[in-house]
């Protein structure tokens, strides 16, 4: 490993945040990645969610079959944001969270946020209405979301998310082998 690579591995979270342009108002930071190719095989994802107040990290990961790379690239954020919204609601009920709006910054090496379009790009977003419906609902519930593109492997946590996505995707191989054997059977005995 070169000294330049070691320097990137040891880059502090504060330095990463400054480098990618996350402002000081962030409450939660998500760094994620997905893997996949086409509908004929599965996709996987991984994401690290960091809470600013406690610096606690939460890992989320998963896989599905079938799934495209684009699905793999957006799933980490859907999973983590859905969990976060539910968690904040629990905390509000306990009285430990008073604010209703939370600033979420997403660091991704994917161009998913551009490829899936935006709510104003009718040509692209038509096929991604479901994604935008979920994002809109999360925003209505107080999650203010901002996307930041980072170069692949330029952030250590992105390498963690990439590894999680690939491990999750590989875990599907055992399930796919079993599913293939079930598909070949004419009858299934309980």
pLDDT, residue 29, reads: 95
| 186 in any annotated domain | no
In a domain, 106, yes or no: yes
Q: Report yes or no on 11 lying in a domain.
A: no
pLDDT by 10s per residue, the chain, length 190: 344 544 445 678 888 888 888 988 899 999 999 988 888 888 999 999 999 999 999 999 999 988 888 888 889 999 999 999 999 999 999 988 777 899 999 998 876 656 554 555 554 556 667 777 888 889 898 999 988 888 777 788 888 999 999 999 888 876 666 666 666 665 555 5
Let me know if residue 190 belongs to a domain: no
Does residue 6 lie within any of the structural domains? no
Where in the sequence is the domain holding 65, given as residue range(s)? Answer: 19-179
Quick check: is 101 in a domain? Answer: yes
Angle value at C-alpha 64, between 168 and 156, nearest 5 degrees = 35
Residues 146/151/152/154 CA torsion (nearest 10 deg): -100
Query: Does residue 61 belong to any structural domain of this protein?
Result: yes
pLDDT at residue 114, rounded to an integer: 61
Centroid of chain to Cα 108:
8
Pairing of strands 57-64, 43-51: antiparallel
Identify whether the C-beta of residue 106 lies closer than 8 Å to the C-beta of residue 146. yes
pLDDT at residue 185, rounded to an integer: 64
CATH number at residue 112: 3.30.420.10
Tell me whether residue 71 is in a domain: yes
pLDDT at 3: 43
For the chain, what is the domain count?
A: 1
Torsion sign over Cα 26, 115, 62, 154: negative
């Amino acid at each position: 490993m070169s000294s330049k690579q070691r320097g990137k591995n040891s880059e502090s979270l504060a330095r990463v945040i400054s480098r990618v342009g996350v402002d000081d108002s962030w409450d939660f930071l998500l760094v994620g990645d997905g893997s996949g190719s086409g509908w004929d095989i599965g996709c996987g994802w991984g994401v690290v969610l960091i809470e600013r107040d406690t610096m606690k990290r939460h890992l989320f990961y998963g896989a599905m079959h079938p799934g495209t790379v684009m699905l793999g690239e957006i799933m980490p954020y859907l999973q983590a944001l859905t969990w976060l919204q539910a968690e904040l609601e629990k905390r509000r009920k306990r009285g430990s969270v008073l604010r209703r709006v939370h600033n979420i910054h997403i660091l991704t090496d994917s161009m998913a946020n551009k490829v899936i379009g935006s709510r104003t790009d009718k040509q692209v977003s038509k096929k991604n209405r479901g994604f935008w419906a979920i994002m809109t609902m999360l925003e209505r519930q107080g999650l203010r979301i901002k996307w930041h593109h980072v170069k692949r492997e330029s952030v250590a946590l992105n390498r963690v998310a990439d590894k999680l996505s690939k491990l999750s995707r590989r875990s599907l191989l055992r399930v796919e082998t079993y599913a293939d054997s079930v598909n070949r059977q004419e009858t299934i005995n309980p």
